[in-house]
Amino acid sequence: MSLKEPILKILAKQYAPSSMIEQKFGRYDLLFKTDEEGRPILLFIGTKASNGNIIGERYARRLKIDDEGNTIKDHWELKGKAT
């Protein structure tokens, strides 16, 4: 499953730095980790199990920024199953 525009809009926002954010999106549960500037960098999408883990897929963000703060590369890569 590739990430669609509505989910990418959620992931484009700034959140609390260095934290785990939990959200519901339609029938999916989202859990993402943010970096020190509050940008999501790791995403788990699927259904939440009774123990709190997300069963579904795991994505990692490829983010490259130059010295002036301009974004060079910004895309999400599917890393496999999340259990």
Task: Give the count of beta carbons closer than 10 Å to the beta carbon of residue 32.
Answer: 22
Give the pLDDT confidence of 41-55 residue by residue, as tens digits.
Answer: 999 999 999 998 999
13 with 39: CB under 8 angstroms? no
**Domain limits, the chain:** 5-82
Rg (CA), the chain: 13
Strands 71-82 and 54-65: antiparallel
Give the pLDDT confidence of 17-48 residue by residue, as tens digits.
Answer: 999 999 999 999 999 999 999 999 999 999 99
Task: Determine what percent of the chain is predicted with pLDDT higher than 70.
Answer: 99
For 70-81, letters b (16+ CB in 10 Å) and e give: eeeeeebeeeee
57 with 82: CB under 8 angstroms? yes
